[in-house]
Structure 1
């Protein structure tokens, strides 16, 4: 349980030392919340909501008379299959508490400390502290989206260069899943930011709401970038299917040419395979070489015809 009191310098205090007139921020565990929520005046329903074991991306944000309560389901943006972090936010007048519900890599505390380091202590407000922490949650996402764009571009180049490997469907599907999860993650942050801007319970100063607006706009840009990459993915996938169709057509053309070349040979073989006694070629000593010669001539003529037509 760590609480930071904001003044000319940031000091660490205990729960009992919290002053309602001084901006205080803290990081606590779910177990600590269960023992302290009554002292803060939080509803037990919010604690129950924190304890629900739900595996999903969309979080929640609820507005009470004198505080906001929200849950953010975080992801490891580089390893998107891990729903790694789950945190709850409590926001009261001059009080901001982050509850760690699930944090496998201990990144939440690190991001909270980074937020403290990046804010101007002399001009610190509750709104600025909250937005600084929220922005740390997306601080690496621009780089991640650039990496995803590069992966998609590489797949597109492979299609153009006819260097498609059998892993392409798996690769493009993984990227699309990654983008979908990121899109859902940004949606919950947008809802959170817009709810804070509405300031229904008058916790924030009107002129300070711009910090939430700036944060929300940044998340919206990330969400827009994700949508653009999703469309890019769809175009690349269509190009892949078009290339596969072209390859299949090429194979079918080859089979057609081969069948057309050997069809006359099949006719010749079937004709002389009837073995009628009245066939003079059957008893002629040059009959067999003649059939071979005719077959070779037919193949050569067919090959020249198809090459002239540029069919292979």
Structure 2
């Protein structure tokens, strides 16, 4: 059996996209593990299935490199918008809806020469209630609260953007961190019953934010859209940025712009098609 796919990335956060309007993908959990491997597969952060939806233009299902299913992916959803537009699946409409496990998200596309260049995504309201993130912390929010890892006390701000995030603002240069050692210790910390995505952040002199991310199920990735949104929200809650302002977040794979309002969080960024391929399973 042969399956066609398109490799795409948003700020270096790469997935293999399967058009399930035209084909069926069996056992996506095992397929994601196999194809994500850099040496024995294609190499990616996971796979995303683009399927019909009865309440949106398409549905996206996300499978991480370890085969676990994710609820939401900010970089992935921009790529889904690009795939739908560039392949004529939504006509000439520049407003596109995508069904996710975190609800239906709306994308506003910027188009040039018949191809989508950027997308502004309404990511929905940030969830701050610890029980709903989830994080085992008493109170109405977990903002700048201590967490002990490797006998060091960090201060975390926890936010859900459809998936759980732990944001850490650090003084030391995050480029010097050993995330391969540190990331798993946060991911599997006992405070996080469903594991956690962890963002390590520097506030730069110009007010922009530099971040690295350790994603549950995938390890360090070059970008995380929901993570950038969580960082923007946490920056406002900790006094590093203003609500309603455009916050620039520098990720290893590129920049995203985040805007945190009373109603929702907006994320704007690019999406890129790398190549199309075919795999026999």
> Under TM normalisation by the shorter chain, which class is it?
under 0.3
Higher Rg: 1
- Using structure 1 for the length normalisation, give the TM-score: 0.22
Higher helix share: 1
Greater length-normalized contact order (CA 8 Å, ≥ 6 residues apart): 2
- Using structure 2 for the length normalisation, give the TM-score: 0.24
Higher strand share: 2
